[in-house]
Every structure is written in C-alpha cells, then in structure tokens.
C-alpha cells in the first residue's frame, strides 16, 4: 500500500483564526476610515480630533499586517504568526484599557468583543495542531477520545 500523499487538512482552530483575521482586516479598514472622517468632522467644529485620527491611522495600518499574516498562515508560513501575535496582543491590551475606562465612566464594556476575538486568533494560531500543520508535519492520529489510534 502506497503512503498517503495528500496534505494534512488545516486544523479547525487555525481555520477559525483565519476567518476572524479576515473579519478584523475588514473592520479595521472600515473603522479606520470612519475614525478619520469623524476626526475631520471634529476639526470642522473646532474640536480636537487628533486622538480619533491617530486611532484611525493605527487601525488602517494594522489591517495590512493582519492580511499579510492571514495569507502567510494559509500558505503554511510559520513565521507569519509573529506579526499576527504582536497585533493581537495590542488588541488585548487596548481592549482591557477600553473595558476599564468604560466601566469607570459607567458605560458598557465594549472592548470585550475585541479581546475575545484576539484570544481566539492567538489560541487558533498557536495550538499544537496549528504548529504541526504550519511546520508541514503530519498531526498524530487520535481516536474519538484523543487516545492514540491503534492503526
């Protein structure tokens, strides 16, 4: 019997992380553009929109980093994890600050969604199955209860 030459399927956690990454790319671009528009509206009304503009620029700059990382991960490039991890850590830190500031102002903790999505990406990209797949290794075959397959 000839060895199976079909490539191993991409782990489900990594696929979910890629879906979230592409969602983040789209929302970062749209949100960044919206922030820049809001900053110009603030300036037209004599208010300082610098912080809003900076947030928009950072959001727009993060989008191509995440897109390149997503493409690299889909092409089994292990090194694509690093820029994705850096951006996702920044998302978690920003989300935590947003939650704290919102709670101090008596507002709903809107940063929680970003934190959850970032943690899903980090877990999906850095799982042992994803690491093995990105390295081109064949993941260990297991039974339904994660015991080694007797075959």
Could you give the 3-state DSSP secondary structure of residue 86? Answer: helix
- Residue 6 pLDDT greater than 60, yes or no: no
Which residue(s) pair with 142 in the sheet? 148
**Where do we find the tokens 């015991």?**
147
- Residue 1 pLDDT greater than 50, yes or no: no
Nearest CA to 17 out of 99, 88, 79, 86 is that of: 88
- Residue 107 pLDDT greater than 80, yes or no: yes
pLDDT tier for residue 96 given thresholds of 50, 70 and 90: very high
pTM of the model: 0.81
pLDDT tier for residue 49 given thresholds of 50, 70 and 90: confident
42-46, 84-88, 125-129: range with lowest mean pLDDT: 42-46
Domain limits, the chain: 12-134
Say how far apart CA 138 and CA 72 lie, in whole Å: 19
Say how far apart CA 19 and CA 40 lie, in whole Å: 32
Say how far apart CA 60 and CA 35 lie, in whole Å: 10
**Where do we find the tokens 């390295």?**
135
Rounded to an integer, the average pLDDT of 17-38 is: 96
Which residue(s) pair with 148 in the sheet? 142
pLDDT tier for residue 44 given thresholds of 50, 70 and 90: confident
- Residue 149 pLDDT greater than 60, yes or no: no
Say how far apart CA 101 and CA 59 lie, in whole Å: 19
């Amino acid at each position: 019997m000839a060895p199976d030459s079909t490539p191993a399927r991409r782990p489900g956690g990594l696929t979910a992380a890629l879906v979230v990454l592409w969602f983040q790319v789209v929302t970062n671009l749209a949100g960044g553009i919206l922030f820049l528009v809001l900053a110009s509206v603030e300036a037209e009304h004599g208010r300082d929109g610098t912080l809003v503009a900076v947030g928009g620029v950072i959001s727009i700059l993060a989008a191509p980093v995440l897109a390149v990382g997503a493409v690299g991960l889909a092409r089994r490039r292990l090194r694509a994890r690093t820029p994705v991890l850096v951006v996702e850590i920044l998302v978690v830190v920003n989300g935590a600050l947003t939650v704290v500031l919102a709670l101090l102002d008596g507002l709903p903790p809107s940063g929680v969604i970003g934190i959850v999505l970032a943690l899903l990406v980090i877990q999906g990209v850095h799982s042992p199955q994803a690491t093995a797949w990105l390295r081109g290794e064949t993941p260990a075959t297991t039974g339904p209860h994660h015991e080694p397959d007797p075959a």
